[in-house]
Amino acid sequence: MSLKQSIEGLFSKNEFDVADRHIYEEFKAALRHGEIRSAEKDAEGNWHANPWVKQGILLGFRMGRMVEMSKETETLQFFDKDTFPLRPMSLDDGVRIVMGGSAIRDGCYVAPGVVVVPPAYINVGAFVDEGTMVDSHALVGSCAQIGKRVHLSAAAQIGGVLEPVNATPVIIEDDVLVGGNTGVYEGTIVRERAVLASGVILTRSTPVFDLPNERIIKAEAGGSLEIPAGAVVVQGSRSVSSGFGKDNGLSIYCPIIVKYRDEKTDSSTKLEDYLR
């Protein structure tokens, strides 16, 4: 029986034995090694969730029991499911974890060459690919997929999603720069080489105004908001055109694509190479 079939069979159970726990630990190790992912891109470039992988993660919450995670010598105390301890790490993993209080939960993949600056947090089911920097106060939410050479700047928030199991998580493709205090949520897909300026907020219900192409980008019904490859997105606003809002000169936040990435944009992000 395949691991997929085993997890799908266990998902309908409410009581578990030692053999079931072994299957779950095998599943979590496969996540840790990047052998399975909660979402994958097909040959046409479309992203799809792997529902059975999300089922396996949810199974861990149901299967686990509450235990004390902290040590007697620590002042701060932590209590969590025993199925989700910190991810086992060693120097051989090739991940640079700067001292100061970051946490990486077990059941996520963190590739060699990743840099984690404290305090940062990477949640279960996440996939963080080679050469990415997770800066201070940045969050990689559950099942989020982060590509190669991405910079998640200070306080960037990449939202997570576990349910429904067929929902695509947030996707950040290769060579994307996510500015400080930026938030990407609700299954938004940011295509390769895009730049999200500081403070940009993207959700499924957020319309994005593409100035170079004179269009408005919206998520289709049941789909994800998708930021095009190479887009440079900044904070913007649009005026309320009627009623009380117009009378009081109010505006509503909106993200704006002001241009597409060029040599000037690339030179301004070159600093990344010196920080790794």
Q: Within 10 A of 14 (CB to CB), how many other CB atoms are there?
A: 6
Domain assignment present for residue 161? The answer is yes
pLDDT tens-place string over residues 128-180 = 999 999 999 999 999 999 999 999 999 999 999 998 999 999 999 999 999 99
Looking at residues 45-62, what average pLDDT do you find? 96
Top-confidence residue, 203 or 268: 203
Q: Please give the residue range of the domain that contains residue 263.
A: 3-66+78-275
Domain assignment present for residue 88? The answer is yes
Looking at residues 63-77, what average pLDDT do you find? 86
Domain assignment present for residue 72? The answer is no
**Which tokens sit at 188?**
């938004």
- Return the CATH number at 82: 2.160.10.10
pLDDT tens-place string over residues 204-241 = 999 999 999 999 999 988 889 999 999 999 999 999 99
Domain count, the chain: 1
Q: What is the CA radius of gyration of the chain?
A: 20
Domain assignment present for residue 73? The answer is no
Q: How far is CA 127 from CA 22, 204, 263, 268, in A?
A: 23, 21, 29, 27
How sure is the predictor about 96, in pLDDT bands with cuts at 50, 70 and 90?
very high
Domain assignment present for residue 189? The answer is yes
**Which is it for strands 251-260 and 231-239: parallel, antiparallel or unpaired?**
antiparallel
Domain assignment present for residue 71? The answer is no
Top-confidence residue, 180 or 276: 180
Q: What is the pLDDT of residue 71?
A: 79
Phi, psi dihedral angles at 31 (to 5 degrees): -65, -45
Q: What is the pLDDT of residue 168?
A: 93
Task: State the Cα–Cα distance between residues 80 and 67, nearest whole angstrom.
Answer: 6
Domain assignment present for residue 111? The answer is yes
